[in-house]
Amino acid sequence: MSKILCSILGCLLFVGHAQAEDKLRVVSYNVWYGFTKVPDRKATYLKWMENQKPDVVSLQELNGYTADKLKADAATWGHKHSAILKENGFPTGISSRFPIEDVQRFREGFHHGQLRARIKGIYFYVIHLHPSNWKTRGREADLILADIASLPKGSKVMLVGDFNTFSTADRKYYAHGKLESFFSKRDGNGKEKNLRGGKIDYSVIAKFTDAGLIDLEHSKRGKDYKFTGSFPTKIEKSGDHGSARRLDYVFASPTLAKRVTRAEVIANDITWKLSDHLPVVVDLD
C-alpha cells in the first residue's frame, strides 16, 4: 500500500512540476537610460522585477550596461541566463530562468541594433525601433519580418519591446489631435520625421499584424479596459513629452497567442515613477 501511495504522490508531484514549467511570464521594460537618470530608483526597480517572478525579461535602453552588469541584475530576480546586444549607445538585453540559445546580434540596417534569442523553443526578438523616423522604423520592421521568414517552418515567435510607433487598435485614443500638434513641432527641426503627411503613422505596426502576428495586449482587453498608454509616465523629466500613447508591445505567432492568459501594460503607483515607460507583462499557460 505504501509503495502504491508513494507512486501516486510521485506522479502528482511530477504533474504539478510539469504544470509549473508549462507556464511562462514575459516582462518587457524600457528602463530609461539604464536608470542613470534616476539611480535612486534602481533598487525599487530590482525589487519590483523580483516580485513579478518573470521567466523571460526583455529590456531596452540598458545604457551604461555590460554583460556582467546585466547578469548581476538578472540574478536578483532569479535568472541565471542573460545576453546583451552591445555595450555602447542604447543596448537591449534579455534574461531568462531557462537557458538562452542561438543568440543573434544584428547591427546592419538597425538604428539601435536587433537582438534575437531562442528560449524554450521560442524565438524572442528584443525590439527597440528608431525613436523618431517612421520610414526607418518601417525598414527595420521589414528586416525583422524577413528574419522571421528565414526561421524553420512553424517556429514560435515573440516580438517584445519598445516599437516607438502606433497601432490602429489605439486610434480612437488619439482622436484628440494633440499628438499631431506635438510631433509637428518636433518634426519642424528637420531632424525628425514622426508624422506621415502630417498624420500619425500606423504602417509599421500594420506590417506585423498583416504578417499574422498577434498584438497580445490588445487581444486581452476586457470590457473594463482603460487606456493608459505606455509612455510618458509621471516621472520627473524636463521638456514636453506629449500625451499618452502606447509604444511598448508584445507580438506573438498565432499558436503562442492562443496560450496567452494575460497581457497588460502595468500602470500603478510604483511603475508610474520608475521609468519614462510603463512595463508590459504577458502570461502564457
pLDDT in tens, 36-54: 999 999 999 999 999 999 9
Cell numbers representing residue 99 in the block: 537557458
Residue 117 gets the label, from left (phi > 0), alpha (psi -120 to 50) or beta, of beta
Whether residue 255 has pLDDT greater than 90: yes
What's the mean pLDDT when you consider all of the chain? 94
Q: Report the pLDDT value the prediction gives residue 10, as an integer from 0 to 100.
A: 52
pLDDT in tens, 90-121: 999 999 999 999 999 999 999 999 999 999 99
Q: Report the pLDDT value the prediction gives residue 21, as an integer from 0 to 100.
A: 62
- Dist CA 138 CA 156 (whole Å): 23
For the chain, what percent of residues have pLDDT higher than 70?
Answer: 93
**Residue labelled with grid coordinates 526561421:** 151
pLDDT band at 20 (very low <50, low <70, confident <90, very high): low
Q: What is the mean pLDDT of residues 66-84?
A: 98
For the chain, what percent of residues have pLDDT higher than 90?
Answer: 91
Whether residue 17 has pLDDT greater than 70: no
pLDDT in tens, 164-219: 999 999 999 999 999 999 999 999 988 999 999 999 999 999 999 999 999 999 99
DSSP 196: B
Please give the sequence-ordered ranges of beta strands (E in DSSP) within 222-277, or none if there are none. Answer: 248-252, 260-265
Q: Report the pLDDT value the prediction gives residue 190, as an integer from 0 to 100.
A: 87
pTM score: 0.92
Q: Report the pLDDT value the prediction gives residue 12, as an integer from 0 to 100.
A: 46
pLDDT band at 223 (very low <50, low <70, confident <90, very high): very high
- Architecture of domain 24-284 in CATH? 4-Layer Sandwich (3.60)
Q: Report the pLDDT value the prediction gives residue 22, as an integer from 0 to 100.
A: 81
Q: For residue 108, what are the contacts with CB-CB under 8 A and spacing of at least 6?
A: none
pLDDT band at 274 (very low <50, low <70, confident <90, very high): very high
The residues with which 251 forms a beta bridge, in sequence order, are: 159, 215
Whether residue 5 has pLDDT greater than 50: no
Whether residue 7 has pLDDT greater than 70: no
Q: For residue 220, what are the contacts with CB-CB under 8 A and spacing of at least 6?
A: 260, 262, 263, 264
**Residue labelled with grid coordinates 506621415:** 196
In which order are the strands placed within the sheet that holds 248-252?
101-106, 114-119, 122-128, 156-162, 248-252, 214-215
